[in-house]
A and B are shown apart, each in its own frame.
Chain A
Amino acid sequence: MELLIWLEGGTVATWVRESLSLWAFPTLIALHALGMAGSVGLSMAICLLILRSVDTFPISRVESFFNFIWLALGVNFVSGGLLLVANATELLILPVFYIKLFFVLCSAWILLRLNNIVLLSATVAEESGCRSRLRPLALTLLGCWIASVAAGRLTAYPSLFLG
């Protein structure tokens, strides 16, 4: 707990938590939401594309979209980190926060695997082989993102878990 208090006591953490400026907590929470819309939203769209597309859909061509997903995840990482240090004593005692982190890490790992498979599927013959690997990954990624969004929202309701 002393470590958590130390984390919260820093200049940046104090500013994020206590400043009345829109640029502090409100902007960070908005950036976190925008990052979520970008990373989770684009990921879900690509997953649906993989799951619903016909066998002739050129999977390798969606590779460019992954750059935006990684950018949005970066925004989430930075904004999330700042929000965490500003509210460390509240968040780090919540089990649901660790559930969120677990599913976010799972999602990032699956996304990396999807990205690599898409990169490797440069020819049509390779694409048909890759497709069988992509669909289970896409389904799992959808589930992980839904779980992480749900767990993330529930961190705002500690009373549901702590009584």
Chain B
Amino acid sequence: MSFLVDFVAGHNWVWPLCEILHFLGLTLLVGIVGLIDLRLIGIASNVPLADLYRLVPWALWGFLICLLTGVIFLLGNPVQVPSDVLIKTTFQLKMIFILIGGTNALFLLGLEHDSIQGRTKDDAISPARPQKIVAIISLFCWLSVVYLGRMLPYGDSFYFVFHW
């Protein structure tokens, strides 16, 4: 991966561009998933779920943009080796929340497919409690991903949680 490190180090626009794309990807992903989760929790309960689920492919594009730029951050960083990032608790927690949130997104994809095929219940009916719980967990996971991602540069300074 030294070619990637050399490329990033040799072009001062690469890292900022990747950060911009990473932020845009996450707003797309978190925005669409957040909208669907809010709907599943019961906000704007008269909005047809089928129409919201049609946005899921856009959320997937957001995820792919984040994944690609995230790999560049991990493998192409000229000042930090990947192992230094991988051992951070903050990074590991972020990956765990992405895994849980991603699993939930697959669940939503299944719901989208069923909805478009017309096999779900009437959209006007409030989602069942399990769906509401999944939506709350999903919202928490993706907001945690944003929070932990932003905390990455500050390392595992959990000591400072108690320091004012």
Contact = CB atoms under 8 A, between A and B. Distances in A.
A157 interface: yes
Interface in B96-112: none
B31 interface: yes
A46 B34 CA distance: 11
B27 interface: yes
Contact of A36 (B27, B29, B54): B27
Max count, chain B CB within 10 A of own CB: residue among A36, A41, A46? A41
Contact of B44 (A19, A29, A65, A145): A65
Nearest to A150: B20
Give the interface SS of chain A, mostly helix, strand, loop or mixed: helix
Contacts of A57: 48, 51
A23 B159 CA distance: 11
A153 B16 contact: yes
Interface string A124-163: 0000000000000000000001100110111011011000
Interface in A37-72: 37-38, 40-46, 48-49, 52-54, 57-58, 61-65, 68
Interface residues of B, number: 41
A49 B55 contact: yes
B26 interface: yes
Give the interface SS of chain B, mostly helix, strand, loop or mixed: helix
Nearest to B149: A33
Interface size class of A (residues with CB under 8 A): 35 or more
Max count, chain A CB within 10 A of own CB: residue among B47, B157, B164? B47
B154 A41 contact: no
B40 interface: no
A63 B44 contact: yes
B147 A34 contact: yes
A40 B157 contact: no
A44 B12 CA distance: 29
B47 A58 contact: yes
Contacts of B16: 153-154, 156-157, 160
Interface of A: 19-23, 26, 29-30, 33-34, 36-38, 40-46, 48-49, 52-54, 57-58, 61-65, 68, 145-146, 149-150, 152-154, 156-157, 159-160
